[in-house]
Amino acid sequence: MADDVSVTSAVERRLAEQAMLLEHANDAIVVRDLGGRITYWSPGAERLYGWPADDACGRLLDRFLRTQRDPAASTEVVTEALLGAGSWEGELTQRSRDGAELTVLSRKTLLRGESGEPYGVLVIASDITARRRAEQALARSEELFRSQFTYTGVGQAIRSPDDVLESVNPALARMLGYDDIADLVGRSACSLATPASITTRRAELLPVYAGEREAVSFEAQMIHRDGTLVDVQYTSSVIRDVDGRPLRFISTFQDISERKRAERARDLAVAELQARHDELAAMSQLKTDLMGILGHQLKNPVANLSMAAEVASATWAADSAPAQGRFLDLVTRNAQRIQQTIDEVLSMVAVDSGQLTAHPDQVRLVDLVDEAVASTGVSARTEADAAVVVLAQRDHLHHILDNLFSNAVKYAHARIEVRASVVDPAGETSAQAAIEVVDDGPGIPEAFQPHLFERFAQRDKSGRPAGGTGLGLFIARQLARANGGDLVLESSVVGRTCFILTLPLAPDPGTASDPTTT
């Protein structure tokens, strides 16, 4: 009797242990009968599928979980395996209570009674949904990478840390002139680069090996199969192992040969243009120097010749030798023209060399106008405010007015007017003195007006080229600007041409001399 009690207790303990194991098992444990109906539903099955045991027991297992099978896991295949080997293992797709799709690893074992007759099937299901999704994502990623690696037009290669090419795509093989990628796989990557590029690559990759950077990009040169050089933009990124050590390098090679050829052609063109510019600048400087030298060498002899002719003409009795008098007048006029040309050329040289400067002084405007009228002999109606004082270099102003008056005399029909006054323009510009020179000539052709103040610009009344150097108005404007003023064409129509010379006013002596004024 005692022995029976002991055996019963041992069996009960074993059953209790098995029940505890089933209670805490993470996998879903299900028992179904031979007809497919659920007879046992473990707590793990409740956690996996979301259904309580009361709802699950008695239901057809595959219909209840909406099991989807591929051909390798068909009902016929599973049944044959259970009856033959007594077990089956494979992947199934099922759905939980909330409709989520699950991928499970299903392990099935045929249950037999004491007589050996089968009475049910034990099913243990492990959730491998996350693992399977990760595997599928990895497979898709690898497929995309392989497709991109194979079909992209950019050269790519995978190499080991010891510089051996493990994989090369067709684009890189074509770029370097190889028909078969097998000709490149297994070779050292350095064998395809120039020595300078190898040195650059080693220096660029040092931070990558040190773990400071994950990728580098720089320009390099590869060696084509025929020995020519291929310019590339080289980019390399590292794949590390779990300890952070470089495991693989993935490199791309963008062919930039066309761009580099264009850059070299551009640099050559720029160098040639610079050389041409320097040559032209030297020639221009030589021209300026020669003009300056000739002008200075001729200035004094011509001045002496002009003075001698004027003195001889003034002292010669016109009635005693009229022919000689006319000859001296001709010499005097031509000497004066040569002197004017020399002065204009020297002024242009000063403008071009940046040496045209002014030393302004206070000049009464009315005196300036009267002196200019007297020196040129122009017959003009003048209006000038005697109180206006400008700040300018006197001989510069004489030169400007001589030019304006000479042009007015050349083109006027009957009337020349000169007005000097103070103008107060709108805006922030301070008051200035203005001298207007107006003639009633035919006007300046409209098409020629934009070029009026350019050097060597010259036109007669009809717009055709005229005599002279064409430097007069160009130099006159430069002189005006050197003195802080300007010279402009105010208007030009038939019967009225007006030039305006503006000059800065001299400061009020009453305030300029007071050191306490602030």
User: Quick one: average pLDDT of 279-296?
Assistant: 64
Listed in sequence order, the DSSP H helices in 316-391 are 322-352, 365-376
pLDDT for 5 equals: 46
pLDDT for 518 equals: 28
Asked if residue 216 lies in contact with residue 198, where contact means CB atoms within 8 angstroms, the answer is: no
Q: Which residue has the higher pLDDT, 496 or 377?
A: 496
User: 3-state SS of 190-248?
Assistant: HHHECHHHHHHHHHHHHHHHCCCCCEEEEEEEEECCCCCEEEEEEEEEEEECCCCCEEE
Q: Is the pLDDT of residue 41 over 90?
A: yes
Q: 365 is written with which tokens?
A: 């405007």
The strand pair at 101-112 and 118-127 is best described as antiparallel
Quick: pLDDT tens for 197-218: 999 999 999 999 888 999 999 9
Quick: pLDDT tens for 456-480: 766 554 444 455 567 778 888 888 8
User: Could you tell me the CATH superfamily of domain 152-255?
Assistant: PAS domain (3.30.450.20)
Instruction: Return the percentage of the chain with pLDDT > 90, whole number.
Output: 40
Q: Which residue has the higher pLDDT, 251 or 20?
A: 251
pLDDT for 464 equals: 45
Q: How far is CA 364 from the centre of its chain?
A: 57
pLDDT for 416 equals: 83
Q: For the whole model, what pTM was predicted?
A: 0.44
Q: 391 is written with which tokens?
A: 């700040």
The position carrying tokens 């002719």 is 309
Asked if residue 386 lies in contact with residue 364, where contact means CB atoms within 8 angstroms, the answer is: yes
Domain boundaries in the chain?
A: 2-134, 152-255, 264-352, 361-511
Within 8 A by CB and 6+ apart from 107, the residues are 87, 88, 89, 123, 124, 125, 126
User: For residues 483 and 504, what is the distance between their CA atoms, to the nearest angstrom?
Assistant: 8
* Phi and psi, residue 93, nearest 5°: -110, 125
Q: Which residue has the higher pLDDT, 496 or 353?
A: 496
Instruction: Say which DSSP state 495 is in.
Output: T
User: Is-same-fold flag (2-134; 361-511)?
Assistant: no
User: Quick one: average pLDDT of 82-99?
Assistant: 93
Quick: pLDDT tens for 228-267: 999 999 999 999 998 899 999 999 999 999 999 999 999 9
Residue 442, helix vs strand vs coil: coil
Question: Mean pLDDT over all residues of the chain?
Answer: 81
User: For residues 430 and 427, what is the distance between their CA atoms, to the nearest angstrom?
Assistant: 8
Quick: pLDDT tens for 387-410: 788 888 888 888 888 888 888 888
The strand pair at 416-423 and 381-384 is best described as parallel
pLDDT for 510 equals: 42
* Residue 439: Cβ-neighbour burial (10 angstroms; 0-12, 13-18, 19+): buried
What is the identity of the amino acid at 459?
Answer: R
Helix axes 322-352, 472-482, angle to 10 degrees: 50
User: Quick one: average pLDDT of 361-384?
Assistant: 78
Q: Which residue has the higher pLDDT, 420 or 302?
A: 420
Q: Is the pLDDT of residue 81 over 70?
A: yes
Q: How far is CA 3 from the centre of its chain?
A: 98
Please name the CATH architecture into which domain 2-134 falls. Answer: 2-Layer Sandwich (3.30)
Beta bridge partners of 32: 38, 121
Instruction: Return the percentage of the chain with pLDDT > 70, whole number.
Output: 75
User: For residues 75 and 65, what is the distance between their CA atoms, to the nearest angstrom?
Assistant: 15
User: For residues 300 and 342, what is the distance between their CA atoms, to the nearest angstrom?
Assistant: 10
Beta bridge partners of 33: 120
CATH class held by domain 264-352: mainly alpha
Asked if residue 209 lies in contact with residue 221, where contact means CB atoms within 8 angstroms, the answer is: no
User: Could you tell me the CATH superfamily of domain 361-511?
Assistant: Histidine kinase-like ATPase, C-terminal domain (3.30.565.10)
Q: How confident is the model at residue 370 (pLDDT cuts 50, 70, 90)?
A: confident
The position carrying tokens 């409209």 is 446
User: For residues 435 and 369, what is the distance between their CA atoms, to the nearest angstrom?
Assistant: 9
Lowest mean pLDDT among 154-168, 326-340, 499-513: 326-340
